[in-house]
Structure 1
């Protein structure tokens, strides 16, 4: 190991290893230690053949590795000379608690590199075939988490009034309240969509209107992890229907082992490519 280590905060994208950037692949190949999040495709470890793999799962509603412990691990290994790659799903700078980790690394004097990944919101929009900033329908896009630090919720009425496409992360457990809050400002016919496991073989989605958002997602059997979209730009997905080769909007729920099926599919893909 080098006398001076560093930490790379790396976005692994939504799960499809083909969506990794070249820079991400290079960082993984050079890693001494991988700190791997729960929602990351486990087959990514094949790209880091010399690394020690430490799983530091963090997932809503489940037992998680404490954030402070993860920060201590990063600093400890880097200060010993290791190249630590902290692997997160999606993009590290979007709802990935990167701010806390950046602050901890800077306070410890550890060198830092950030490698972006494709957020699930963008993967979901690509699957739907919509532009989140369609100039005919909106003036921008708002990325928002449904869970605030104080366990409260955003002001859905104010967000709805902003005139942007809403991309809501970590909202499936509160989808009823989200819909009710948005309906205080938006028409019930406002286009809406939910995409679960975006950009992976396990993807499922629902498209419809805000008035049927909660019931439609429930009938389709959708759960976490998923991105919820609301806004006129999402109407493009309703217009094109199933033009793209993506799962049917009214498909029934996947079995509980969908996550395992995703991993198996990726392993077969890697095996065939070898």
Structure 2
């Protein structure tokens, strides 16, 4: 297969978001290079697999996309925090070092980060220029983005892709939500007034390709234009599935059961995609109702 857009390398090509990126990028005309810790043969829409090592081979790539990051939906023990950091900051540092060593460098580095960088901000509307917040997750996300800064000094256009809750078939968030609500065990978390920045996976990936083509650099809120309060998200999901949602998980119970991860569930980030809208990106699923209509059987 030979595309006309150039060659795109993807760390995380076999994951949920990576799989959607492979599908859309191949359709758009990109030649695709995946990175794996084990030897793999080309197959499907991935033209080439390269080994992920301490010195990955980035030769011939026009764009590098990093989607690595171990899931934080577990207790935030010291050991897990080490893994969270290595799979984020460590991976970016490895990519930037490989870029520095390469004879020819990618022109664009899209670094997948998270809206967790804003911390808990209540009802404040958060566009990309908003300051970073406080707390463990915000500080981790800030370090994650700062690790990509040296790539700019190499003349590479850096996009920090701040993702919210990603909804899509096969994704962890949607799979868990669907299972819980199907059992009639859905309900609001804490007071339910915290803002949830969400996005449909098709818009997430479509936005990536749009901003790569749009010559954008800097942060991008990869979220729907219409974030929802947790209580409203719960009500709309229950209605779409035709199930009750009477359950309620008090904040204190979440903190006892989940430890630090409860902070991520209870934090409020009213993030809006100002950069995507300014660059003219058109969302296929701008409202939660439209996304749920697509996802609910």
TM-score, normalised to structure 2, is 0.34
TM-score, normalised to structure 1, is 0.36
